[in-house]
Amino acid sequence: MLTDRRNRKLTINAGGRLVDLSRPRVMGILNVTPDSFYNNSRCGDRATVAARVATLLGEGADMIDVGGYSSRPGCAEVSVDEEKRRLAMGLEAIRLQAPDAIVSVDTFRADVARWCVEQWGVQIINDISGGELDTCMYETIADLQVPYVMMHMRGKPDAMMQEQYLHYEDVTADVLQYFAEKIDLLTRMGVNDIIIDPGFGFSKTIDDNYRLMRHLDEFTRIGLPLLVGISRKSMIYKLLNTTPAESLNGTTVLNVLALMGGANILRVHDVKPAVEAVKIVMQTIPDTI
């Protein structure tokens, strides 16, 4: 599962900065939510955000992904105003402490995405719904001209693990088809920087998640950057009969497999182990991954 990156578009324009993704990058997670599935990622006030930012950047994060709406299975609905309130607290703290940091915001709402870019200078939008939950998202991204992380998911976050969303004829083929249709539409709308995310843990069984990991290199054939987010997810702790808190080792193993399969961005809670994984894998097989 060694993947050649040389024939893919591996640069994005993040707020006027050209980011080269031929060397895999690490995206550190910062949740300004009270109910994210991993307790240690939650930041409820400016001081906690500042400490988290210092940790993420100090350990080598290339970008920070901020979320104000938990997407764990069964999560509670969050109003637009509440999502903005949480994000404003987090983004203000980030901009005061690290004004030059590349910041991504995890939202599926077009108006929240626009507000984050125009009000706070956010450079990347990370949409777990791939545009399915807000029909205005694609038009907004095309207008803003920011990199767009498009993830695969079925249903809404609070219902994505219901039986009707878990049936696939072939999970890899189905997800690839999903991306093909959406990339065609986004490209015709003038979106230049698209990053694909297979959506590990979202409307997929444990077996489906590992099937996707085994065939991850097939997603690189699309020719676009690939983001993988498996940090401390249930595909690890349910398989090993542990907890999110005990899932760092499993996360690192899967991050290495993801890098070998062609991942360009690792979205993680624990930056230092991911940065070390990138360095080791690049040193070992630099020309193929």
Q: What residues are labeled active site?
A: 233, 267
Report which secondary-structure segment, H or E, holds 143: helix 137-144
User: In whole angstroms, what separates CA 227 from the centre of its chain?
Assistant: 6
188 burial via Cβ count (<10 Å: 0-12, 13-18, 19+)? exposed
β 63-67/11-14 pair status: unpaired
Phi and psi torsions of 230, nearest 5°? -125, 10
**Residue 169 CB neighbours (<10 A):** 6
Residues 248 and 238: their CA atoms lie apart, in Å, by: 13
Residues 121 and 219: their CA atoms lie apart, in Å, by: 30
Partnered with residue 124 across adjacent β-strands are: 104
